[in-house]
Structure 1
Amino acid sequence: MSEPLKYLSHYPQHVQAQVRTLIERGGLKTYLLDKYPTPHSIGNDKALREHVMQFKNRYLKKSAPLSKVIFDNRIHVVNHALGLHSYVSRVQGNRLKSKHEIRISSVFKATPQAFLDMISVHELAHLKEKEHNKAFYQLCQYMLPSYHQLEFDLRLFLLQTELEGALYEPTGETAGDGCVV
């Protein structure tokens, strides 16, 4: 039995074997580029906030408001995260106020739109479900029906990036560090 592939270690061995074969034949990059030929055009925090808020306003209208949505180049593999949802509770007078923030790794500045959608939905789902449980993934699928396939393809994208470098030509902005969901 061979070593599990980074980013795919919790997938069954037969799936990992298929990915290994694809890599050995030099087909991983082709698979990804055929399926996701171009990166998205969201390049700053304001545009990212608008993008995330579209999902929130459509699927989670009654959830807590977001105080911040940003690309963050400090999120990387050490955190084992591609995005972070955090909430801070503060006492203001005699009331408790909480602020919700979504920070998305700057690696998503150079990914396909579908991957940015996937991580946005993932972090938004944490507004309602804190744990990665069945209800959490059902909410992700409700907001983005192809969620599980996109998560798998994102893992392939990260593997490809680690093996051969960036999938897309740089556009002058840095893509950030590689991360895992």
Structure 2
Amino acid sequence: MFLTFDDGPDPEHTPPILDLLKAHGATATFFLIGDRIDRHPEVVQRIVDEGHELGNHSWGHPFMSDLPIERQMEEIARADASLSTYDGRATHPFRPPYGVLPRNLLTRFARTGRTIAFWSYDSQDYERLPAPVLIRQVQADPPRSGDVVLMHDDNAGTIELLAGLLPEWRAQGYSVRAMPAGRA
């Protein structure tokens, strides 16, 4: 399965998530918000140094459908520029905030061959329910091999959720890793 995190980097929550990933031999793709990248460069550098992938989650996490196409592209380009200082890539897989992808942006990406990275499994950690409740929900309807799992690295509940799930997934024989370039 492919593990992804949205809405970071967060100086309080991303480091413990990185610790858990390292302890379990897992990697992930982190879809980062541009203005947070500039505020927490040490966290972004650690993400890259530890072998994880970077993704673009826009500069300021707006509803893209509220913006004209020029502003949408500026949000994405500005975040790409900041991300590129860490991994040297000119562009990164883009995950639209809130999963909202306006038709004009989809059309622009289709014309340019730009990658959009959605998910196939939602952990629902953004609901900020107690971790035991989330763990039971995931166990009742678990991700499958090949799923792209959506999580968020901006809250303590995700840390507890991940701490409970990573050993379980490993015991079940899953390989937990970042999205490969071809899928990103």
Per the normalisation by structure 2, the TM-score is 0.23
The TM-score normalised by the length of structure 1 is: 0.23
Higher relative contact order (CA 8 A, sep 6+): 2
Structure of greater Rg: 1
